[in-house]
Amino acid sequence: MPIRVDGPVDQSELWNQVLAIISDQLSKPAFDTWFSQTSAFGNEHRLTIVSEETLKSEWLEVRYSKLIREAIHKLTGNPSFEFRFETKQ
């Protein structure tokens, strides 16, 4: 059953659940390199995925957007749920 994503707390929980799905699909070194020290915030329409390095944000966008989209779709039931990447300033 899809989870509700209607507030900041739910968005954080959504990202934690996305990370759990992705961690099962990647090697531990790959997951630790690219997904550790990421966080997310947003609203019921969009998730902003935050990383501490520009390279990491760019790599996530280029290499892992499809995997992230699939996990979000699995959890929310919404194939067009928006997400974007941001580097923590």
Domains of the chain and any CATH numbers: 8-87 (3.30.300.180)
Q: Record the tokens describing residue 15, joined without a space.
A: 């990202």
Q: How far apart are CA 38 and CA 34, in angstroms?
A: 8
Residue 76, pLDDT score: 87
SS3 state of residue 37: coil
Contact 51, 57 (CB under 8 A): yes
Residue 9, pLDDT score: 45
Model pTM score: 0.87
Residue 3, pLDDT score: 61
